């Protein structure tokens, strides 16, 4: 579609319809969507009627006592939330960004491990920006698989080096991989061997061709095929699962040391020369000139300095 025609069509639309569309598709109910937006049901019903005329589609089909999305609506549901987030970021831009007075909201995709390590210093630093909201969302596998698209919808993601390329990044902190076993494991002494890693049941985080931990990948490259018994997508669960079993797990040392006082596990060196973990902040190039985004980068960098200072 020619740009001028596209702009003309947009000019004739009420952008509030995008908000209504998102609520309707997420709630699949006029009454619940109206309650979510703080509007009356007749008002939202009128918006639904306008949306139906625009798309020439019912969007919501009544089936018994509930509504179901039409095929077009199901397709739109995947786009409206991202579109709203993009619009919000456009209108949140400020010529002069002042963290002390700004009311901007930032969204960062991050693992529970990185939240545990970076969260406390981030919370302390945010006291200098009392009106800013920082949303830390769990990093999904799909965001790593298509990072360039995912980073259009959020402000940044925290991910180790080795997964992404051709995107701007800032290294945050380093960590090393260790092994954990139950504190009273009957078959493990002071050290683990490579044979132990092959024979013991293993608890792992992620176990697909595109979702894995660097240490787990390195173990596979060395020809070790562990007896995977439990797979989870949360690092925080690893110590608790290992403590209740006769298994073993590879985990980041900073996380293991933080949880050791609360969980009956032992932290042991890896029996192979595992590469260190280097966590980094990644973002889309379109944010590089945004003053608010530069502040966000500085915030995470300063929090990471606190992490390193705490281990010096």
pLDDT tens readout for residues 34-73? 888 888 888 888 888 988 988 899 888 888 878 888 989 8
Residue 305 is given by DSSP the state H
Residue 306: closest CA among 132, 119, 152: 119
CA gap 303, 119 in Å, rounded: 8
Across the chain, mean pLDDT equals 86
Over pLDDT 90: what percentage of the chain? 38
- Say whether pLDDT at 2 is over 60: no
Looking at residue 211, its pLDDT comes to 66
The domain defined by 3-92 folds into Arc Repressor Mutant, subunit A (1.10.10)
Looking at residue 277, its pLDDT comes to 92
What phi, psi does 203 have (nearest 5°)? -105, 125
Over pLDDT 70: what percentage of the chain? 90
- Say whether pLDDT at 84 is over 80: no
pLDDT tens readout for residues 213-271? 878 878 888 888 888 888 888 999 999 999 998 889 999 999 999 998 889 999 999 99
Pairing of strands 248-252, 105-110: unpaired
For residues 260-289, give the mean pLDDT.
Answer: 91
Chain-centre distance of CA 231, in angstroms?
A: 19
CA gap 194, 220 in Å, rounded: 12
Task: Specify the higher pLDDT residue, 79 or 276.
Answer: 276
What pLDDT band is residue 12 in, cutting at 50, 70 and 90?
low
Q: Is the torsion defined by CA of 37, 40, 43, 47 positive or negative?
A: positive
Looking at residue 181, its pLDDT comes to 92
Fold match, 105-173+278-309 / 177-275: yes
pLDDT tens readout for residues 173-190? 999 999 999 998 887 878
Strand partners, 50: none
CA distances from 206 to 144, 183, 203, 210, 211 (A): 13, 24, 10, 9, 6
- Say whether pLDDT at 6 is over 60: no
What pLDDT band is residue 282 in, cutting at 50, 70 and 90?
very high
With vertex at residue 91, the alpha carbon angle to CA 35 and CA 38, rounded to the nearest 5 degrees, is 10
pLDDT tens readout for residues 138-169? 998 888 888 888 898 899 999 999 888 889 99
Domain 105-173+278-309 coded CATH 3.30.420.80: no
CA gap 69, 58 in Å, rounded: 9
CATH number given to 177-275: 3.40.190.10
Residue 263: closest CA among 247, 241, 237, 240: 240
What phi, psi does 279 have (nearest 5°)? -80, 140
Domains in the chain: boundaries: 3-92, 105-173+278-309, 177-275
| Whole-model pTM over 0.75 | no
Structure tokens at 186: 């009957």
Looking at residue 238, its pLDDT comes to 92
Looking at residue 312, its pLDDT comes to 53
């Amino acid at each position: 579609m020619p740009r001028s025609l596209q702009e003309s069509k947009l000019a004739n639309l009420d952008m509030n319809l995008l908000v209504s569309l998102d609520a309707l598709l997420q709630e699949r109910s006029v009454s619940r969507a109206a309650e979510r937006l703080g509007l009356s049901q007749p008002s939202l019903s009128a918006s639904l009627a306008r949306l139906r005329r625009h798309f020439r589609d019912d969007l919501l089909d009544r089936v018994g006592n509930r509504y179901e999305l039409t095929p077009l609506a199901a397709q739109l549901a995947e786009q409206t939330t991202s579109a709203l987030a993009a619009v919000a970021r456009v209108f949140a831009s400020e010529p002069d960004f002042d963290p002390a007075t700004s009311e901007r909201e930032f969204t960062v995709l991050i693992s529970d491990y990185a939240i545990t390590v970076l969260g406390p210093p981030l919370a302390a630093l945010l006291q200098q920006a009392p009106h800013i909201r920082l949303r830390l969302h769990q990093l999904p596998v799909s965001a790593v698989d298509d990072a360039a698209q995912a980073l259009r919808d959020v402000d940044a993601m925290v991910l180790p080096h080795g997964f992404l390329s051709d995107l701007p990044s800032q290294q945050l902190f380093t960590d090393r991989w260790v092994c954990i076993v139950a504190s009273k494991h009957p078959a493990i002494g002071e050290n683990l061997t490579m044979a132990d890693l092959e024979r013991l049941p293993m608890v792992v985080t992620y176990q697909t061709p595109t979702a894995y931990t660097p240490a787990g990948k390195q173990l596979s490259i060395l020809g070790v095929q562990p007896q995977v018994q439990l797979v989870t997508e949360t690092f925080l669960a690893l110590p608790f699962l290992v403590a209740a079993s006769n298994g073993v797990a590879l985990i980041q040392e900073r996380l293991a040391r933080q949880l050791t006082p609360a969980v009956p596990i032992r932290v042991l060196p890896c029996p192979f020369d595992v590469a260190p973990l280097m966590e980094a902040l990644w973002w889309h190039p379109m944010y590089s000139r945004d003053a608010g985004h530069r502040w966000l980068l500085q915030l995470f960098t300063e929090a990471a300095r606190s992490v390193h200072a705490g281990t010096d």
